[in-house]
Amino acid sequence: MQPATIELKDVTKIYRMGNIEVGALRDVSVSIEAVEMVAIIVASYSGKSTMMNILGCLDVPTSGEYLLEGENVGQLGDDRLAEIRNRKIGFVFQTYNLLPRLTALANVELPLLYGNGHNRRRRAMTALSRVGLADRVGHRPTELSGGQQQRVGIARALVKEPSIVLADEPTGNLDSQSTEEVMAILQDLNQREGLTVIIVTHEPDIAAATRRVITMLDGRVVDDRTVE
């Protein structure tokens, strides 16, 4: 048994909107092992992005503990969180979040600018080849199709060789063929390269591609099943 990569213990996140307190997460306890591929299905929009922000170390829980590879990241400062995002987590966004001014290659190089960044060009090339876009390195995002843009996004998530790929609705803006391509790449990363892949989504269809499915409703975990 490998150690848990991600362990949430009674995590609660409360937002204050004016005088009203909104509980986006309530006592969520989830444990995700290394080399798992997990879909977290969250019905509400706010719950989904909160789950994504907490898991991705973009935000810290109001109460409860978040252990990432054994390290409690719940109480860390902004700069330490930035370091952890840089080293351990690769983000894949629904809207790709590529910088429109930069070429595909420069976009993939972005995480290498921060922290340890030698051999940037070669490492970015390798990551782009990995998603099958070696011939598109000089193109800007506007010159690429949606599927190609998302593959650039995945290459950017991979370039730092993180242990976790965190995908937020990665196929939400894609047609069915591109969706298949993207999901195939994510499955491949999990099975062949041993990356922990977490997909946060509100579409149950996506869950078909993963072995484990966690379902959340109103900020609580209501179902957690693993298909054997």
Residues 6+ apart with CB under 8 A from 225: 212, 213
> Given the rule CB under 8 A, which residues bind another protein?
49, 53, 56, 58-59, 78-79, 82-83, 85-87, 91, 93, 97, 99, 101-102, 110-111, 113-115, 117, 156, 160
Shortest distance, position 75 Cβ to another protein, whole Å: 17
Residue ranges of alpha helices (H) inside the chain are 45-55, 78-88, 104-113, 120-130, 146-158, 176-193
Shortest distance, position 106 Cβ to another protein, whole Å: 9
Shortest distance, position 91 Cβ to another protein, whole Å: 6
Spatial separation of the C-alpha atoms in residues 175 and 208, rounded to whole Å:
17
Q: Which is nearer to another protein, 79 or 228 (CB)?
A: 79
Q: Which is nearer to another protein, 7 or 109 (CB)?
A: 109
Residues 6+ apart with CB under 8 A from 188: none
Helix axes 104-113, 120-130, angle to 10 degrees: 120
Shortest distance, position 165 Cβ to another protein, whole Å: 13
Q: Which is nearer to another protein, 97 or 126 (CB)?
A: 97
